[in-house]
Amino acid sequence: MGQRGGRQETSKKLEMAQRETMKAEAKVQNNEEEAEKLKAKVQTLASVFGVADLKNGLTSSFSVPTEAIGLYNVGHSCWLNSLLQVFFMNIHFTRILRRITVPLYAEQQKKNVPYQMLLLLEEMQCGKQKAVYPIALAYCLSAYNVKLFVQHDAAQLFLTLWNLIKRQMKKPELVEELNGLYTICIQEHLACQKCSFEEKKNSSMLTLPLPLLDSNCRMLKTLKDCLQYFFHPEELTDHNMCFCDQCGRKTPFRQSMKLIHLPQTLTIHLKRFCFEKAAHIHKLSHYLPFPQDLDFNAVLTESQCQADDNEKAGWQYDLFAVIAHSGSISCGHYCAYIRSLTERKWYCFNDSEVCQVSWDDVKCTYGHSNLHWGETAYLLIYMKKDPQWPYPGV
């Protein structure tokens, strides 16, 4: 009985060991299959996005017109749809996006913003419907407190989205390219008016946030006026005085900014929403024209620049996109006007509806003082002039 019981016990152990071995082998096989699926997915994405850069401009490499794809509104997501279309229509951005590292696990993929953008762009490029639903990306963003069914500010959400993309890109070279594509570099100056003390600090920003009113609440009339006012020195006196270490007391200071570097894609934020008394936010709808061509050398003075001639030679821009806002603070809507980099034609991306428009249509976003609910430009996206564009094969 003892020997038989021992044999049975040994047999059970062997069976258990065999089952565990089979489970382990199956797990390895499943992992290998998952790895092969992931590898195939990466290869598919690479092949799709190898040509998606050309399709982004609404024209294929064979010059056959393709339909522009819209994005359905999934809960007041017009701000997200407008920003995504501007990102996706920028060939320089999609060339970075298609080279990201694909997360290994499903849970990581669900929470990875660049990857979800990549999947959405793939769906837009491969699908035949007029629009697609950005639901997976919207849920991904909700994990980072970017909620649906909420009125969001497109300028603020651009910063949030861009920082999430940067933070979740694993390749240092892609982060460097992303910075080079969007980052503005300035030098801040703070000079005491009672002694020779001066403090200098280099900093970076993703947008130029331009006020539309001067210090006396007078309306600035053109984009050039707004840029010049933004870089105009400010006198810090009375209750705005700063403490000077050299003087040992608070003294009047002169605060100024000098432009060091402008990126390939320049985002200008027209600050149309301003605070009034009792913390009430008011929308400035007045007429403010902006040009199709922008040369910073003709806008800023020598004293407002801290750049060499080679840097300044690249300060000539073409208008690439306009994100426009209509309605009020609490009940508004965004759409995007984007000029195709391949066709050089303007298109209006209004959620799921996309149509070709003229420059006169874009100029309607200049604003009008009597149309407080009218469509006004909120974000201007300029792109550096490229003498080699269009590229071969486009």
Residues with a catalytic annotation lie at 78, 333
Query: Distance between the two ends of the chain, CA-based, in angstroms?
Result: 85
Torsion of CA 133, 139, 145, 148, to 10 degrees: 40
DSSP-based three-state secondary structure for 184: strand
Q: What are phi and psi of 316, to 5 degrees?
A: -110, 130
- Rounded to the nearest 5 degrees, what angle is found at the Cα of 93, between the Cα atoms of 131 and 149? 45
Nearest Cα neighbor of 51 from 82, 94, 83, 93 is 94
Question: In the structure encoding, which two tokens stand for residue 212, read together?
Answer: 């539309």
DSSP-based three-state secondary structure for 61: coil
Question: In the structure encoding, which two tokens stand for residue 184, read together?
Answer: 């503005």
Q: What span, in angstroms and rounded, lies between the C-alpha atoms of 338 and 236?
A: 40
Nearest Cα neighbor of 356 from 73, 58, 124 is 58
336-374 burial by CB neighbour count: b if 16+ within 10 A, else e? bbbbbbbbeebbbbbbbebeebeeeebebbbbeeeeeeb
Amino acid making up residue 27: K
Give the CB-side neighbour count of residue 193, counting CA atoms within 13 A. 15
Whether the CB-CB separation of 206 and 159 falls below 8 Å is answered with yes
Q: What span, in angstroms and rounded, lies between the C-alpha atoms of 379 and 208?
A: 10
Q: What span, in angstroms and rounded, lies between the C-alpha atoms of 45 and 101?
A: 11
